[in-house]
Amino acid sequence: MRRVLILGSTGSIGTQALDVIRANPTRFEVVGLSAGSNRALLEAQAAEFGVADTALGADEAEQLVRDVEADVVLNGITGSVGLGPTLAALETGRTLALANKESLIVGGDLVTAIAAPGQIVPVDSEHSAIAQALRSGSSEEVRRLVLTASGGPFRGRTRASLADVTPAEALAHPTWDMGRVVTTNSATLVNKGLEVIEAHLLFDVPYDRIDVVVHPQSIVHSMVEYTDGSTIAQASPPDMRLPISLGLDWPHRVSGVGRPLDWTVATSWTFEPLDEGAFPAVRLAKQVGRAGGTFPAVFNAANEQAVDAFHEGALTFPGIVETIESVVDAHEAPGELTRESLAAAEAWARRAADRAIRARL
C-alpha cells in the first residue's frame, strides 16, 4: 500500500487525487493533507480519510513533508509558493508527484540538482503523456518532444482581435475546468510556455527540440518523436485522474480511473501550427528558459501580477504578455541561484510589473 501525502488537497488536483484514493482503498493510504486556506474542507477530508497530520499554508506544508512518513508526496499547490514543499520532498527522498509546475520552473537548477533519477513524476497531463511515451525508446533515440495545446478560447483569432477580450471570455476554456490564473494562462498560452520550460527541466531535451502544436480536441496529450521517424502519442479523453493516478503509483496503472476512447464512434482529431504572432508567450518562455537563473521566476511573477490586473480591468488581454516581456527585458539576473535570490527576483518582478501596468493606463 502506498502512503500518500497530498499538498493542496482542497484544490482541483487534490480533490481528484482523493477521488482516485477513495476508489482504491486497498492500494493507497492518505497519511497527510495540506490546504492553502480552506480549513473547513481540509478538516472534512481529514475526518473522512482518518488523517491526523494536516497543515494550512505553504510554510506548514513544507514542515508537514519533513515530519510525515510517506512514500509519495503529491504537490498540488498553486504557484511558486510550492517550491519549499517540493525541495523538502526531494531532500527527504520521497517520490514527488508534481502538479505544481511553478516550483520546478522557478526553482530550476535548485530542484534538478537534488532530484534523484526518476524521483519526480509529472502530473501535468502533457508531461505525464511524454513520460509514458518515453518508455518506447532510449533517451538517445528521442528526436523531439511535441506538447499539445488546446488553443484555448481564442484559437484562430488575430492579435488585433484580442484587444477587446473580456475576463469572462478568457475564463471560458473549451476543455478544462481550472482556476482563474491557470485558465487565463491557457488563454494567453503562457501556461504552454511554462510547460515547455517544465519539459526541458524534466526530460533534459534542448529547447530547439521541444515543439508546441495546437490540438483543439485535447485527446492526444503530447507526443515523442524518435530518430527513426516514429511518433508515439498518448491519447485519452481529458480527465486529470489518469495522470494523477500514474503520479501516485508510477509506473503502475490504476484500473478504472478514466474512461477509454470509444472507437465505435466516428471522430476527427486536428492539429494546427501555433500562431506565435497572436500568441507570443511560448517564444518568450523559450527565451526565458534558455536564460535560466532567476529569469523563469521573473516571468512567472510578472505574469501573476498581469493576470490580476487584467481581471481587475487595468490591463488588456494582449497587455498580459506585453507586460511580462517588458519586465523580463529589464531583469538583470543575480550571480548565485538560491531561495533568497529567487524570492528577491520575484518581489522585484512584481513591483516592475505593477509599474509597467500603471504606465499603460
The mean predicted confidence, pLDDT, of the chain is 95
Instruction: Look at residue 173 and tell me whether its pLDDT is greater than 80.
Output: no
Task: Give the SS3 label for residue 305.
Answer: helix
| Predicted pLDDT at 305 | 97
| Predicted pLDDT at 178 | 66
Rounded distance between C-alpha atoms, residue 225 and residue 215, angstroms: 16
**What DSSP state is assigned to residue 96?**
E
Question: H-helix or E-strand containing 133?
Answer: helix 125-133
Rounded distance between C-alpha atoms, residue 33 and residue 289, angstroms: 32
Q: DSSP letters along 282-295, please? A: HHHHHHHHHH-TTH
Instruction: Look at residue 176 and tell me whether its pLDDT is greater than 70.
Output: no
- Tens-place pLDDT, residues 285-305: 999 999 999 999 999 999 999
Task: Give the SS3 label for residue 217.
Answer: coil
| Predicted pLDDT at 177 | 62
Domains and CATH numbers, the chain: 2-123+240-249 (3.40.50.720), 137-236+265-283 (no CATH), 293-361 (1.10.1740.10)
* Displacement of CA 204 from its chain's centroid (Å): 17
| Residue entry with cell 473547513 | 40
Show Cβ contacts of residue 52 under 8 Å, excluding neighbours closer than 6 positions: 46
| Predicted pLDDT at 27 | 97
Rounded distance between C-alpha atoms, residue 72 and residue 20, angstroms: 14
> By C-alpha distance, which of 256, 258, 202, 267 is closest to 234?
258
Instruction: Look at residue 241 and tell me whether its pLDDT is greater than 80.
Output: yes
Rounded distance between C-alpha atoms, residue 316 and residue 303, angstroms: 13
What's the Cα-to-Cα distance from 344 to each of 75, 157, 352, rounded to whole Å? 23, 37, 12
- Tens-place pLDDT, residues 82-109: 999 999 999 999 999 999 999 999 999 9
Q: State the angle between helix axes of 180-188 and 190-203 in degrees (0 to 180), rounded to the nearest 10.
A: 90
Rounded distance between C-alpha atoms, residue 227 and residue 146, angstroms: 14
Residue 172: pLDDT band (50, 70, 90) is confident
Show Cβ contacts of residue 110 under 8 Å, excluding neighbours closer than 6 positions: 83, 87, 337, 338, 339, 342
Report the alpha-carbon angle 298-76-50, nearest 5.
150
What is the separation, in whole angstroms, between the first and last Cα of the chain?
56
| Predicted pLDDT at 334 | 76
| Residue entry with cell 482563474 | 180
